[in-house]
Amino acid sequence: MPRRLRVEADGGSRGNPGPAGYGAVVRDAETGELLREIAASIGKATNNVAEYRGLLAGLAAARELDPSSVEVAMDSKLVVEQMSGRWKVKHPDMRELAAEAAALVRSLPSVSFRHIPREQNSHADRLANEAMDAAARGLEWTPSVAAAPAPAAPAPSSASVAGGRGATGWSAPAGPPTTTWLLRHGQTSLSVEKRFSGTGDPDLNELGVAQAQATAVRIAAAGGIDAVVSSPLKRAFATAAAAADALGLEVMVEDDLRETDFGDWEGYTFAEIRRRWPDEMAAWMASPDVAPPGGESFTATATRVLAARDRVVSTFPGQSVLLVSHVTPIKTLVRAALDAPPVALYRLYLDLACLSVVDWQAGGAGVVRLFNDTSHLAGLLA
């Protein structure tokens, strides 16, 4: 008998464009039973292309199961709005993919689209990252031997129907959390003038070095840190090295903790960008899926940062880890812990060399214990 199916799809790009992959899951919409897992690397592509490729794979797999209807759930606002007909498909790379997806939709009895928070799309996101990880090792992704059926997705609450976010249930912790101390790097010449500083690589200035040393004293006095993990960028690594020296530890580098790539906007102030790129700035401010010219979107940043978090939690279960990074990655981690929407990035403020603390359970649930603490910088704040 034909049945109602739910497709969850996701895609990611490490560099946007960069090495990319997608993941898709097909479930029985009534029981939540896992029916299909699909994932693949697609070479160099943008995040949006990877998202569409995940949708295509999920729809094709659903069609093979002869459904009575299909609900597609994705965390890509762009894909959901374009496939729902509310947004125009303007980019040439998207038009062909959107047309292919539309043809698949027409071949099915009934298809609906629903935007969901990234945290509710973790299975497809994991598959996409598995595919990219396998490709990086020169391998092809293969499905797990046996996948446990997932519980049925809850019906949307009145809040979610109205466009809000329903509450996430709470359960007892499965074990001790991994505690992440989130440290923003110290001051650089670009941060003095409030210029966009992404994957450009300025050194700490004199005040930045002093901030790093003061933070190291604070962290060493607190004790209990088991590992220090840093972004590869010099301003973060130097800040991490000061703390590691005080703790008697080595600095491990996690590339995905780097700052967002601001592309052509690197080194410019907000006002200068608004004058030179008014339309691009307006689009960027309106959607986390939009990247600066030649740069990376906040959505793409979140994909890699949360993948880095997952690696840290799995590597250091139940331990305390100092993560030294930048504004966007730290905001992303706090937002994820709060289960807040992407717009929350614009509602969070981080000072230079500030500390935040988040506990993470193995399943991804987070608890914020401290945010933007600069008490260790008395007399040093610029």
Contacts of 305 (CB under 8 A, 6+ apart): 256, 257, 328, 329, 332, 333
Is residue 376 flagged as an active site residue?
Answer: no
Is residue 185 flagged as an active site residue?
Answer: yes
| Cα 223 to chain centroid, rounded | 29
Domain spans, the chain:
4-140, 178-377
**CA 135 – CA 256 distance, rounded (Å):** 17
Residue 315: its H or E element = helix 298-315
Closest CA to 199 of 135, 265, 131, 286: 265
**pLDDT averaged over the chain?**
87
Selected catalytic residue, list 8, 37, 130, 259: 259
Which fold, 178-377? Rossmann fold (3.40.50)
The architecture in CATH of the region 4-140 reads 2-Layer Sandwich (3.30)
**CA 117 – CA 342 distance, rounded (Å):** 9
Closest CA to 228 of 361, 236, 306, 370: 236
**CA 19 – CA 239 distance, rounded (Å):** 29
pLDDT at 251 over 70: yes
Selected catalytic residue, list 123, 185, 326, 376: 185
* Max CA pair span of the chain: 72
Q: How many CB atoms sit inside 10 A of residue 17's CB? A: 19
Cβ pair 121, 8 in contact under 8 A: yes
**CA 97 – CA 37 distance, rounded (Å):** 21
Q: What's the pLDDT tens digit per position in 6-36?
A: 999 999 998 888 899 999 999 998 888 889 9
Q: What's the pLDDT tens digit per position in 320-356?
A: 999 999 999 999 999 999 988 888 888 899 999 999 9
Cβ pair 76, 46 in contact under 8 A: no
Q: What is the pLDDT of residue 200?
A: 87
Q: Is 200 exposed, middle or buried (0-12, 13-18, 19+ CB in 10 A)?
A: middle
Q: What's the pLDDT tens digit per position in 67-119?
A: 999 999 999 999 999 999 889 888 887 889 999 999 999 999 999 999 998 88
Query: pTM for this one?
Result: 0.58
Tokens linked to 261: 């790539």
